[in-house]
Structure 1
Amino acid sequence: MHRTNEPRPPASRLRIGSAPDSWGVWFPDDPHQVGWDRFLDEVAEAGYTWIELGPYGYLPTDPARLRDETARRGLSVSAGTVFTGLHRGEAVWEETWAHVAKVAELTREAGAGYLVAIPAFWRDDKTGEVLEDRELTPAAWRDLSRLTERLAHRVREEYGLRTVVHPHADTHVDTEEHVVRLLDTTDPDLVELCLDTGHYAYCGGDSVRLIETYGRRLGYLHLKQVDPEVLARVRAQDLPFGPAVAQGVMCEPPLGVPALEPVLAAARPLGVDLFAIVEQDMYPCPPDRPLPVARRTRALLESYLDG
């Protein structure tokens, strides 16, 4: 019997932000990308107050300078990002940890609380060269789950950060089957989910259903959409992710899928503070394109939250 006087869990406090990705930034240094100072100026001008670090080395890596550059623009950092290949087992652990520790230290010094961990690509995201089998063996899945837990535990103990795993196109954690498998084989107290709505839709997943089923594992959101027509061409041609992005597979909301208002509505009742970071993959893109898109997207998301 339902008791009407039972207290309801508080609604999640959704903190909207953006990231270098939405300015066409994929690499620490690339002639096709805008400079880091322009990114910081424009993300603040677009009305965001939260950002991610993006690829290590794009923003200043000196903690004092990074804090100064972000603070004087009214910006705060929510997370850093690492790519990992933990399915390869113990042989890659030390090398992986050396990279993770470097990023985690800067992330902590920037005042952020999250480390976004993206699994390694099975094919090169620029050239399409196949690097590994598309499917992991049972042994590789065991290594992935076990070492992801070890990574999350060590990151928490040494840097005080929460690790959120980011399913990503052209990695071994992409489809609903693979995402659920990782969640079901890892400790929920250690390993949380960074749900990227665009990547999940790209790989055939339903973000709302995932939130409704695994909401207690949701630690972080990346908001983006895919263009269904472009995605159909990408799938028909089996294009790698990089060329797909160059063709515009990730599009400006609300022009694609999934609809973001139901995603936010599904996340709000979870009763946790949650970052919702806009990440519209646009590499490469004209330098004057990101700012107007960022303004419109922020206004759209704010309208969903105010509604």
Structure 2
Amino acid sequence: MTDNSAGLRIGTAPDSWGVWFPDDPKQVPWQRFLDEVVEAGYTWIELGPYGYLPTDPHQLEDELGSRGLKLSGGTVFTGFHKTEEERTRAWDQAVKVAGLASQLGAEHIVVIPDLWRSDATGENLEPRTLTDEQWKKLAAGHDWLGKALLEEYGVKQQFHSHADSHVGTAREVTRFLDETDPRYTNLCLDTGHYAYYGGDNLALIRERPERIGYLHLKQVDQTQLFDVLKNDVPFADAVAGGIMIEPPHGVPELGPIIEAAAAISPDIFAIVEQDMYGCDVDTPFPIARRTRDHIHGCTHMARQF
């Protein structure tokens, strides 16, 4: 399909190759990841967990440039609802991640909140809901981080609601938006995570268009979802069971979401991020290629560059 300058740039991420950690012998080697991204037909990628791709900016620039790849953003993890020390932890990450990503032209940092349940052990780490005081700390922390990222590195914070986190349901996401400053804190709307708790992605885009800064594209397998929720299955276990399914076999439908976001701004990135941690290294590539073909085939508002 011909690229449309009014459409969204479609990219992918290490997560779609099953990469959750900087170093894990079960994960696909980073060189193979980059090669397969190109072969699957993508131009834009995310940094993934810091340390998975080369952290030397010159080496990373060479590796991406030799393959015709570009960087859309990086990822930072936060827990601002806990203690003031969380600001130090967040900034230590930001210095590395935003420092590297911004040197390669990326303009976005996706920020993921700490989970109340461990994604490694399934253990409950803290209560599932926040107190009013914790909500205030959470919002203030993200506005502080977003302002600092913008002023120091010229990158925008895009908050990512997440399964097994304190900001996951539609009501929680709405409260988060109400308590944060749109100058410094907006959303990486992850279509799968939002749908995981029954959120209507199109309704959110329609109701809060000014807060949609970035997209992660994925689908949830509805045939599994209610069993997962009923039986309180940890998110990591649900991922291992295939809860985030290859499009177009799940929900939500991606074409209308891309079109709705493109109507807000063609500068919004739409990054395919199918949670596949624990998969065999040979599994991701054909899925990534089919997913790209599906997206570009289901809407005229998808472009490569």
Provide TM-score, normalisation by structure 1: 0.94
Find the structure with the greater CA-based Rg: 1
Does the CA contact (< 8 Å) of 1:234 and 1:244 recur in 2? Answer: yes
**Paired residue for 1:299?**
293
Corresponding letter in the other structure for 1:83: F
Would you say 1:100 and 2:105 are equivalent positions?
Answer: no
Instruction: Label 1:161 to 1:249 Cα distance change in 2 as closer, same or farther (>3 A).
Output: same
Corresponding letter in the other structure for 2:150: R
Cα distance in structure 1, aligned partners of 2:20 and 2:263: 33
**Paired residue for 1:269?**
263
Q: What secondary structure is seen at the aligned counterpart in 1 of 2:59?
A: helix
Does the CA contact (< 8 Å) of 1:126 and 1:240 recur in 2? Answer: no
Cα distance in structure 2, aligned partners of 1:237 and 1:226: 17
Name whichever of 231-240 and 135-144 sits farther off: 231-240
Cα distance in structure 2, aligned partners of 1:198 and 1:37: 27
Q: Equivalent pairs: percent with the same residue?
A: 56
**Paired residue for 1:187?**
181
Cα distance in structure 2, aligned partners of 1:271 and 1:139: 35
Provide TM-score, normalisation by structure 2: 0.95
Would you say 1:113 and 2:128 are equivalent positions?
Answer: no
Cα distance in structure 2, aligned partners of 1:31 and 1:69: 21
Does the CA contact (< 8 Å) of 1:155 and 1:163 recur in 2? Answer: yes
Superposition RMSD on alpha carbons, in Å? 1.4
Does the CA contact (< 8 Å) of 1:89 and 1:144 recur in 2? Answer: no
Map of 1:106-255 to 2, 5 A cutoff?
A: 106-255=100-249
Corresponding letter in the other structure for 1:300: H
Cα distance in structure 1, aligned partners of 2:153 and 2:258: 29
Would you say 1:50 and 2:7 are equivalent positions?
Answer: no
The structural deviation recorded for 1:240 is 0.9
Does the CA contact (< 8 Å) of 2:78 and 2:86 recur in 1? Answer: no
Does the CA contact (< 8 Å) of 2:7 and 2:300 recur in 1? Answer: no
Corresponding letter in the other structure for 1:177: R
Would you say 1:35 and 2:7 are equivalent positions?
Answer: no
Does the CA contact (< 8 Å) of 2:13 and 2:47 recur in 1? Answer: yes
Name whichever of 236-245 and 87-96 sits farther off: 87-96
Q: Which runs of 5+ in 1 are unaligned?
A: 1-10
Q: 1:13 aligns with which of 1, 7, 16?
A: 7
Would you say 1:86 and 2:54 are equivalent positions?
Answer: no
Count of paired positions: 298
Q: What secondary structure is seen at the aligned counterpart in 1 of 2:138?
A: helix
Cα distance in structure 1, aligned partners of 2:93 and 2:264: 33
The structural deviation recorded for 1:271 is 3.2
The structural deviation recorded for 1:12 is 4.9
Cα distance in structure 2, aligned partners of 1:100 and 1:16: 25
Cα distance in structure 2, aligned partners of 1:88 and 1:230: 32
